[in-house]
Amino acid sequence: MNKLKSMIEGEVDKLEDQFKGTGFHDARAQAHHMKHKFGKFFNILNPNHRHDEEHEQATDRKRTGIAESHRFESYAPIRENNNLKWYVDALDYLWAVSIALDQAQEVIYLADWWISPELFLRRPPFDNQEWRLDQILKRRAEAGVKIYIIVYKEVNQALTCNSAHTKHALESLCPEGSPGHGNIKVLRHPDHNIFENAADMTLYWAHHEKFIVIDYALAFIGGIDLCFGRWDAHQHPLADCHPSNFKNDIFPGQEFNNNRIMDFQSVDQWQSNEISKSEYGRMPWHDVAMGLIGDAVYDIAEHFVLRWNFVKRDKYKRDDKVDWLMLEGRTGEDEDLVAVQRPKFPCGDYVQHPFRPLDTKPRGRQGTVRAQLVRSSADWSSGILLEHSIQNAYIEIIRNAKHFVYIENQFFITATGEHQAPVHNVIGSAIVEACVRAGKEGRKFRVIILIPAIPGFAGDLRQVEATGTRAIMDYQYKSICRGEHSIFGQIKAQGVDPTQHIFFFNLRAYDRINKTPALLKLEEDAGVSYQDIQRGIAETIMSDSVHPTIGKEGDKGEKDYETTAGEIEEKIERLRKFERRLEARESDEGLFSKDTVAHTTMLHGGKMSDEAWQGDPEGEKENFVQEELYIHGKVCIADDRVAICGSANINDRSQLGFHDSELAIVMEDEDLMDSWMDGKPYKAGRHIATLRRELWREHLGLLPAQDYDASREPNAQPPGVCPNKVQEGPENDFVADPLGERLWDMWTERATVNTEVFRLLFRADPDDNIRTFEDYDKFSPKGSKQGHLFDPFQPVTQIREQLDKIKGHLVWMPLDFLKDAEMAEPGLQVNQITESIYT
């Protein structure tokens, strides 16, 4: 790569000598000349390579003028009177999406980082076969709905999401000659071949957006991909072992995942899974998304059309099976805003969207929320000049907050100024400004931030393989509290105590695997392990595929794997044998205990010490498991008045604009409700305040465990069917005042107790008692079984009594973790080249 760059730079010097005395000094003319001489290779030195000709620059000027007239310098204006609905965790979200997709009449736009065609949008899967994603899309395509999908094309050496399988599986749903043929189109972007696409050195960057548009009538946006590993309920079960009835299986095949133990493997072989449900718990997943109806839907659609046309021009311009999209309201003089300089005689048709006139869609007053779309986007991702309106929105929202800022995010890497290279986004500076101003005014002000305990998927943080994860954590600690330029350091330098204003937390959960002596005896009688049964269950639930047997397919279309009918029959026969043994013992009294005890941390969930267990009581101990509750949502709430939710993390990758592509929505509800703030009456935005209350009640264990059947649940319906329903009662009143002292006492007390119990029973890491790697080995010796009890000799009655104390999922973030060690030593994984990956 360096040799190539040196070669081009040498040629630049030669050309400059050639141009001397010729009058050919104009930089743009030189660039144009070199573009034709060197083709895409020259673009390594010219990152805005698509913006050096007059017609391109005319479009850029138009876009710039539009953005400058909008708040946050966004491509989209503020849209009044939208109907917004929040979804906390994927059970409700995916149920609502399943309804909306199945009702599509004209067109579906879907953009995700990862899409799993075999994803069940409703659970348990055995009873919801028709609600698998590929089943739904097949039905709609056969009904004439046009389905357009853009998915991130991963770097195969780094990620296992296999977008080639996604494309092949979905486009094969309606083969030639069948109803719906050609109605599903999937584009993957970007390419990662320097010889084909030197213009876009995007080996590091991803399309990270997650959104859906249906019929230009409603949309979904947030942090939830339609892929394996995201489905979860408020109680966040870790266990999925069902010896009494395999039809209760919730996470079949690849759905049962714990990245701390093993990343997804061969996702095209979606029935198989190498993690045994009788040995380990899954990694629970917390997320947030929005559904909306109103004028803001059009702005999401416009962004999709821009990206579609850009990918078409960038990768598929000679493929007449891929159409160009024309957008109503962006035709004529404004067509170039979404056309991305389409050629006059293109391959593929021009297709007008929406199919029916825009005035037939839900426009105008649909609700009470002022909404605005913001994005991180640039030349490589959308063919446009740089936009980082998401960062602008975060900074302004935080800077203007008067009472509190609440953040949930997968990462927290940010700078307070110009002295924290290689980190460049300055959300941290806005936090410092808000806290210092409140401190000097003597005003109560809190910034409460929840991020994952471990923001990556390393098994053991001491291993070499975890160097990248430790690098991310190192940048986070330097952003938060380590060094004079950290947020804590900058606040303290201005005479304000940061510990009175900023608080960091993680989430953690526990469960019990229902691996009883009765199950062990059944395994022995049937001559088969539960892990084999687990695979057989997945075959039974998932093998009736609507798309052909899909192999592991590369870009050239070769298959190197195929599940044979004989292998499936063999697995199913093993399952049937287990079932027969099970049926023969069903009459045995007290044979089975509950398949999960996650409900015990939630409202009215009872006590762990009251949960039944069959067989030797001491044998129960090996079945208790814990894991970090992975925070994946990207939401920021200020003063119960304004919120932002989308796909963007708090790091340079998501915030700078020219790295990962992102889309988010800023919301302010004009429907003000009576509430409280610091003990005083306060008018809060209904949509914003109810979202914050729902989140806090879940984390505190003040919500009941969810039933997996959400057919009667208002919060699992699409927007327009019904508004969000808040569970009224003393618990809702208790969390109404975000600055209330009784609430804060419970918040901090539960975080403290939960942290102590997880430390005592499981030696859960990271932990404040681990300040060096030597401490690490003493605290949690290497080789211990991931997620299980630390002391197997502690009496089970004492363990149960300790677990009774855990309520909700809050734990303190250990700000002293490895503070006296070099967390990420420089080397092959951590260096000047890779630092932008981790920030």
What are the start-end ranges of the E strands in 569-621?
none
Distance, in Å, from the CA atom of 574 to the CA atom of 571, rounded to the nearest integer, reads: 5
Active site annotation includes 208: yes
Q: Environment class of residue 836 by beta-carbon count within 10 Å: exposed (0-12), middle (13-18) or buried (19+)?
A: middle
Measure Cα distances from 124 to 157, 542, 708 in Å.
33, 12, 7
3-state SS, residue 39 = helix
Active site annotation includes 25: no
**Residue pair 63/384 in contact by the 8 Å Cβ criterion:** yes
What are the start-end ranges of the E strands in 603-735?
624-628, 630-631, 635-638, 642-646, 662-669, 672-677, 680-685
Using CA atoms of 461, 463, 465, 470 in order, give the dihedral in degrees to the nearest 10.
40
Q: What tokens does 620 get? A: 């129960």
Query: Of 532, 639, 640, 660, which is the active-site residue?
Result: 639
* Residue type at position 780: S
Q: Give me the sign of the Cα torsion angle 512, 518, 519, 524.
A: positive
| C-alpha count within 13 angstroms, C-beta hemisphere, residue 774 | 1
* Residue type at position 683: K
Strands 680-685 and 369-377: unpaired
Helices (runs of H) and strands (runs of E) counted in the chain:
24, 23
3-state SS, residue 179 = coil
- Of 544, 495, 470, whose CA–CA distance to 830 is shortest? 470
State the residue for tokens 């403290």.
752
Residue ranges in 602-720 assigned as alpha helix (H)? 652-655, 686-700
Measure Cα distances from 564 to 116, 146, 568 in Å.
21, 33, 7
The residue count for the chain? 839
Query: Of 210, 234, 312, 403, which is the active-site residue?
Result: 210
**Residue pair 210/111 in contact by the 8 Å Cβ criterion:** yes
**Residue pair 710/92 in contact by the 8 Å Cβ criterion:** yes
Active site annotation includes 632: yes
Name, in order, each residue with C-beta under 8 angstroms of 315's C-beta and a sequence gap of 6 or more: 187, 188, 189, 190, 191
Query: Of 89, 92, 215, 660, which is the active-site residue?
Result: 215
CA angle 380, 384, 389 (to 5 degrees): 100
Distance, in Å, from the CA atom of 510 to the CA atom of 809, rounded to the nearest integer, reads: 9
Where on the phi/psi map is residue 243: left (φ > 0), alpha (ψ -120 to 50), or beta? alpha
Active site annotation includes 634: yes
**Residue pair 704/605 in contact by the 8 Å Cβ criterion:** yes
Query: Of 49, 361, 632, 807, which is the active-site residue?
Result: 632
What are the start-end ranges of the E strands in 422-545?
446-450, 502-512
Using CA atoms of 423, 427, 431, 434 in order, give the dihedral in degrees to the nearest 10.
140
Query: Of 49, 208, 403, 687, which is the active-site residue?
Result: 208
Active site annotation includes 210: yes
Strands 146-152 and 211-214: unpaired
Q: How many CB atoms sit inside 10 A of residue 158's CB?
A: 11
- Of 523, 539, 525, 543, whose CA–CA distance to 572 is shortest? 539
Distance, in Å, from the CA atom of 350 to the CA atom of 325, rounded to the nearest integer, reads: 6
Q: What tokens does 464 get? A: 């070499």
CA angle 21, 22, 25 (to 5 degrees): 95
What is the distance between the terminal CA atoms of the chain, rounded to a whole angstrom? 23
Name, in order, each residue with C-beta under 8 angstroms of 606's C-beta and a sequence gap of 6 or more: 599, 600
What is the largest distance, in Å, between two alpha-carbon atoms of the chain? 99
Query: Of 236, 403, 634, 809, which is the active-site residue?
Result: 634
Radius of gyration over alpha carbons of the chain, in Å?
A: 27
Q: What tokens does 64 get? A: 């710039």
For the annotated catalytic residues, the residue numbers are 208, 210, 215, 632, 634, 639
